[in-house]
């Protein structure tokens, strides 16, 4: 199992390198975030032993259990799942990044609840870039005003935008959604200095995301294999 994680990591890194080469980008400009939802702590430990340090989790209680079990390792934890407003405190206390902030109320609570002894919580504003009904993320047209409000909150640090585009096997469709997010970040950056993050691209579309400027790719299946059905 450990050796398969190690070889999967090698393969994903090679994919990232080759996508960067094709895009004329430095491979160091893309951060690999390992999405470890549903994966037991020992697999994360093996992934760390094989060189990964950043892990993304979607389900809060599952994540908190693993963070506690792995407290002896110097890991960076990213929350990437939907956020209920009554669950913000443990997120503010235990994570380094949150990619899935899509409304002001959540951002305010994370800012207020961030422990004073910790650095500001890194935040991405999640955008529903494909305008899918009933999907998470703010509408693209609401992103600039929301980003301005988020950037004023002291306990958080707005880093950029995140999106989960509509699933598609068509490279042109993949590129279009990622390009839309890139252009939106460029637009918002006129107003807000220091934004440096485009969190986009998963196992099935990381090449398109990198060619459109992704700085963090969130990879689960290609590292850990297929997931069991998600917990209820």
Q: How far apart are CA 41 and CA 63, in angstroms?
A: 10
String of contacts with ligand PLP for each residue 102-141, x by CB under 6 A: ----------------------------------------
User: Of 9, 35, 177, 198, which lies in the binding site for ligand PLP, with binding defined by CB under 6 A?
Assistant: 35
Q: How far apart are CA 140 and CA 129, in angstroms?
A: 6
- Binding window for ligand PLP (CB under 6 A); candidates: 60-68, 106-114, 141-149, 212-220: 212-220
Whether 219 and 227 have beta carbons less than 8 Å apart is answered as no
Burial status of residue 22 (CB atoms within 10 A of its CB: 0-12, 13-18, 19 or more) = exposed
Q: Which three-class secondary structure state does DSSP give residue 66? A: helix
Number of residues that bind ligand PLP (CB under 6 A): 13
Q: Does 164 bind ligand PLP (CB under 6 A)?
A: yes
Cβ neighbours, 10 Å, residue 59: 15
Q: Does 78 bind ligand PLP (CB under 6 A)?
A: no
C-beta of 15 vs 88, nearer to ligand PLP: 15
> Parallel, antiparallel, or unpaired: how do β-strands 31-35 and 197-199 relate?
unpaired
- Closest-by-Cβ residue to ligand PLP is 220
Q: Does 31 bind ligand PLP (CB under 6 A)?
A: no
Binding-site ranges for ligand PLP (CB under 6 A) = 35, 37, 58, 80, 164, 202-204, 218-222
């Amino acid at each position: 199992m450990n050796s398969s994680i190690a070889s999967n990591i090698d393969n994903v890194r090679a994919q990232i390198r080759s996508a960067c080469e094709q895009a004329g980008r430095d491979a160091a400009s893309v951060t690999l975030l390992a999405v470890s939802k549903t994966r037991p702590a020992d697999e994360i430990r093996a992934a760390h032993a094989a060189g990964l340090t950043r892990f993304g989790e979607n389900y809060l209680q599952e994540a908190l259990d693993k963070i506690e079990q792995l407290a002896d390792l110097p890991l960076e934890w990213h929350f990437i799942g939907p956020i209920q407003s009554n669950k913000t405190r443990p997120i503010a206390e235990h994570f380094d990044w949150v990619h899935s902030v899509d409304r002001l109320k959540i951002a305010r609570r994370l800012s207020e609840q961030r422990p004073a002894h910790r650095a500001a919580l890194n935040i991405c504003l999640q955008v529903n870039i494909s305008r899918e009904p009933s999907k998470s993320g703010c509408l693209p047209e609401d992103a600039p005003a929301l980003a301005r409000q988020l950037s004023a909150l002291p306990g958080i640090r707005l880093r950029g935008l995140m999106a989960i585009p509509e699933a598609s096997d068509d490279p042109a469709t993949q590129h279009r959604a990622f390009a839309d997010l890139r252009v939106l970040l460029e637009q918002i950056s006129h107003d807000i200095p220091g934004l440096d993050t485009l969190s986009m691209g998963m196992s099935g579309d990381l090449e398109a995301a990198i060619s459109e400027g992704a700085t963090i790719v969130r990879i689960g299946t290609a590292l850990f294999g297929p997931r069991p059905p998600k917990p209820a």
